Structure 1
Amino acid sequence: MRRTVYAVAAVAVAILVAVQVTSDRHRSDPAVAGAEVPTVAVGADVLAGIAVIPERIHDHDYRRAAFGDAWTDDTSAPGGHDGCDTRDDVLNRDLVDKTFTSTARCPTAVATGTLHDPYTNAVIHFTRGNQTGASVQIDHIVPLALAWDLGARAWPADERTRFANDPANLLAVQGRANQDKGDKEPANWMPPNHAFWCQYAVQFAAVLRGYALPVDERSATKLRAAAATCPTG
């Protein structure tokens, strides 16, 4: 069955209308963390093509294991099939001023680096390690538990694994902000850094659209308001 997928590159694209391509693989294109603010045409709806439902219904049988191993080494990830898992690849994509080390699983793992955190606007110095590494975490823009409630429970297992490792749905962010967000929908959590609301709304909508997920009414209102802060073009 062919599915409609929307090309993302969402934090860098000018949105006039949703850009559609067709593919047998249900995947968004990689996001670029820290890219320029997208422009949105006057009158354009950031949620075009996305179903709006009355509210999110929490499904209490959610389990992280339903989305596969925490991270995979996928050929579609920023580094390709390089022996490094998705987390390593996203750190490499999103951090600057990096140094590298070789680990048993990744020959080019980020050892140190700097994150300009989009969620808080903080500058965070990253050092690899169980404790210090927790200062930078990888966030699912559309949380896994939220996706589960919105329909991912009905997906085949490999689809959920792809979703959990899709770089278009991943950002390196401040660990505390990631924990504060948890599995909250936009109605209940938006980045403390209001300057990032435009990018967040555009990217959140692009992931929903790419995976044919709906959005609840309160979150739709929040995302449209956030997208209204985008420059027009």
Structure 2
Amino acid sequence: MNVSAKHGGKALAIALTAVLALLSCGAVATEESPTVNAPLGDSNYSTEQHDGILTGQADEPLAETELSAPIAEALAQLLALEVKGRAPKTGYSRDEFGPTWTDAVDVDGGRNGCDTRNDILRRDLVDLVIKPGSNGCSVLAGTLHDPYTGRQISFVRGQGTSSDVHIDHVVALSDAWQKGAQQWDPSKRQNFANDPRNLLAVDGSANQQKSDGDAATWLPPHRAFRCSMVAIQVDVKTTYGLWVTRAERDAIERVLNNCGSSGPQLPGTVPPMMPELEATIEPDTKPAQAPSNVYYKNCTAAREAGAAPIYAGQPGYRSELDRDGDGVACE
């Protein structure tokens, strides 16, 4: 036998044995601790263990809820609004927007023979009782499903109760003044203050909390209405050419992007007069005599003193300041 061939065959056998041993060890290692190489730059890639096995598969992207057409439109309108800082509040007063709740305006419900406050009460309340002899205009009682709090409020006109329901400017007059309205002529400001598209009957205490805040500083506690509120603000600011601050725009955008497929509830049009709902017997809503030790010459003086609005029975109330006789003076 050739010695070199014999030794060569033995060496080959030893080498093959070593290779098989290495392959066997590698197989065990692969079963016990698999290695997963995630694609670079793929943030959706998951190495999460499912049932003891690392899948090594890319997760499906989270499905985005498609926005409703009205919300998408509101977003487009929002992004088209001018973004600027607030102008000074210098010169602002409620009187700059004309007589309170005047009917002498060229907007929906204007010149219909009924003041704006009662127009909105008739629109937003249910189970209405209308004052006899008011030509179907003046609301004595009704029920409000309040959009800001989600509460149900029983409204009765009169001392101590009229303040339960306020008519809110969704875009506050002061906010409008600081974002373009001070450049308007008096007629446009008066129309703005009485435009039903910017008015809602709401819970009085919630409206006081809102004050003249925008979406960056106040949103209604009733979360289901937040999409509607900011959509109304965008619609009003688009219609009247008002601007938004950056913080306000960002806040509105956040709300709208979380609205999903639901659409906003925008204010409806002013309903016609409702003489058929006039009460057969008028309730006694005559206000009690207010204390005589407080006197305001006019509503401007009351507002400057921080007392407006003044409700029947409160110091400073007198019928001369209550133009529509609803128990609320200097609204």
Where does residue 209 of structure 1 map in the other structure?
A: 238
Once residues 154 and 74 of structure 2 are traced to their aligned partners in structure 1, the CA distance between those partners, rounded to angstroms, is 40
Q: How far did residue 140 of structure 1 move?
A: 0.2
Cα deviation digits, residues 113-147 of structure 1 (max 9, x gap): 00000001011000012420110000000000110
**Whose RCO is larger (CA < 8 A, sep 6+)?**
1
Q: How does 1:176-195 map to 2 (within 5 A)?
A: 176-195=205-224
Q: Which has the higher strand share?
A: 1
Kindly provide the CA deviation profile for residues 66-120 of structure 1, in whole angstroms up to 9, marking residues without a partner as x.
0000111146334x5332100000000000111111366x643111100000001
Could you tell me which amino acid in structure 2 is paired with residue 223 of structure 1? Answer: I
> 1:46: Cα distance to partner?
4.8
- Gap change, CA 1:151 and 1:103, over 3 Å in 2: farther
Q: 1:230 is matched with which residue? A: 259
Give the conservation status (yes or no) of the 8 Å contact 1:126–1:133: yes
Q: CA RMSD in A?
A: 2.2
The structure number with the bigger radius of gyration is 2
Q: Which moved more, 1:179-188 or 1:162-171?
A: 179-188
Using the alignment, how far apart are the partners of 1:44 and 1:224 within structure 2? Answer: 7
Q: Secondary structure at the match of 1:70?
A: coil
- Give 3-state SS (helix, strand or coil) of 2:178's partner: helix
Partner of 1:59: 89
Asked if the contact 1:98/1:114 (under 8 Å) is kept, the reply is yes
CA distance in 2, matches of 1:61, 1:75: 25
Offset of 1:227 from its aligned partner?
1.1
The count of aligned residue pairs is 195
- 2:145 paired with 1:84: no
Question: Secondary structure at the residue paired with 2:78?
Answer: coil
Structure (1/2) with the larger helix percentage: 2
Is the Cα–Cα contact under 8 Å of residues 143 and 152 in structure 2 kept in the other structure?
A: yes
> With structure 1 as the length reference, what TM-score do the two structures score?
0.77
What's the % identity of the aligned pairs? Answer: 40
Aligned counterpart, 1:33:
none
The Cα of 1:214 is off from its aligned counterpart by 0.5
Cα gap change, 1:175 to 1:103, in 2 (>3 Å): farther
Pairwise CA distance, 1:186: 1.2
Runs ≥4 residues deviating over 6 A: none
Provide the residue aligned with 2:146 in structure 1. 117
- Measured in 1, the distance between the counterparts of 2:210 and 2:176 equals 14
- Answer yes or no: is 1:48 the counterpart of 2:79: yes
Code of the residue aligned with 2:81 in structure 1: it is: I
Query: 1:148 and 1:130, CA in 2 relative to 1: closer, same or farther beyond 3 A?
Result: farther
Q: Deviations over 1:172-198 (max 9, x none)?
A: 000001111111121111111111111
For residues 191-216 of structure 1, give each alpha carbon's deviation from its aligned partner in whole angstroms, at most 9, with x where no partner exists. Answer: 11111111011110000000111100
TM-score calculated relative to the size of structure 2: 0.55
Unaligned runs of 5+ in 2: 1-66, 263-331
Shift of 1:45: 3.3
- Per-residue deviation, residues 16-66 of structure 1 (Å, max 9, x unmatched): 4xxxxxxxxxxxxxxxxxxxxxx424995350321112x324423211100
- Equivalence for 2:169: 140
